[in-house]
């Protein structure tokens, strides 16, 4: 059995943890907030572990860190490893390029393909990333990428098109 560690919250701390629980900056922070809020409400470690998917010893660690560091214990610690290649400045250049379009940069084409966008960003930033990662970044920035659908709509004679369509329907029906 794991030792029961008492958790106490001020009204401000409770309110802040509820905000983190409702809109967590990261999943780990959200789980920590839920663990602490349920612990204060007297919910057993077993039920909290089932609700959050955390191990009971992790719950004990979260509670102990709360008592030692308070709100600072909810934040994620810096992760080890290489810093990301894609910086906020790169993302800003990406957003600018997507908003402005290729014509604004003097290109002869009207829509970005991922490969063209990657080439442009390499010229602007000097950073090369793979097309799949760029596609994910485009999606993460809230833009929708699809291959352009080439149609003649707007370039065709709409009256002649409708007449031909009706004639085709009559031929199909055998009239």
What is the model's pLDDT at position 6?
A: 85
What is the model's pLDDT at position 3?
A: 63
State the pTM of this model: 0.50
φ/ψ region of 53 (left if φ > 0, alpha if ψ in -120 to 50, else beta) reads left
Which own/partner pairs from 36-43 qualify as long-range (CB within 8 Å, at least 24 positions apart)? 36/7, 36/9, 36/62, 36/63, 36/66, 36/74, 37/9, 39/7, 39/63, 40/7, 40/8, 40/9, 40/14
What is the model's pLDDT at position 110?
A: 86
* pLDDT digit string, tens, across residues 89-119: 999 999 999 999 999 999 998 889 899 999 9
Please give the Cα distance from 82 to 169 (Å, whole number): 63
What is the model's pLDDT at position 2?
A: 57
* pLDDT digit string, tens, across residues 124-162: 999 999 999 999 999 998 888 776 677 776 778 888 888
What is the model's pLDDT at position 148?
A: 66
Please give the Cα distance from 140 to 64 (Å, whole number): 36
pLDDT at 1 over 70: no
8 A C-beta contact, residue 109 and residue 102: yes
Q: What is the mean pLDDT of the chain?
A: 89
φ/ψ region of 41 (left if φ > 0, alpha if ψ in -120 to 50, else beta) reads alpha
* pLDDT digit string, tens, across residues 31-63: 999 999 999 998 888 899 998 899 989 999 999
* pLDDT digit string, tens, across residues 14-30: 999 999 999 999 899 99
Mean pLDDT of all residues in 73-101: 91
């Amino acid at each position: 059995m794991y030792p029961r560690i008492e958790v106490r919250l001020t009204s401000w701390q409770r309110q802040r943890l509820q905000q983190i629980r409702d809109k967590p900056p990261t999943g780990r922070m959200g789980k920590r907030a839920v663990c602490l809020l349920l612990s204060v409400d007297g919910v057993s470690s077993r039920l909290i572990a089932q609700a959050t998917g955390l191990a009971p010893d992790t719950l004990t660690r979260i509670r102990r860190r709360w008592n030692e560091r308070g709100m600072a214990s909810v934040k994620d610690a810096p992760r080890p490893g290489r810093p990301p290649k894609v910086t906020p400045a790169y993302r800003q250049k990406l957003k600018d390029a997507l908003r402005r379009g290729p014509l604004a940069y003097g290109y002869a084409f009207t829509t970005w393909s991922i490969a063209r966008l990657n080439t442009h960003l390499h010229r602007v930033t000097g950073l090369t990333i793979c097309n799949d990662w760029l596609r994910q970044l485009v999606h993460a920035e809230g833009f929708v990428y699809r291959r352009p659908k080439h149609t003649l709509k707007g370039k065709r004679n709409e009256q002649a098109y409708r007449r031909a369509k009706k004639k085709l329907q009559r031929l199909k029906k055998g009239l």
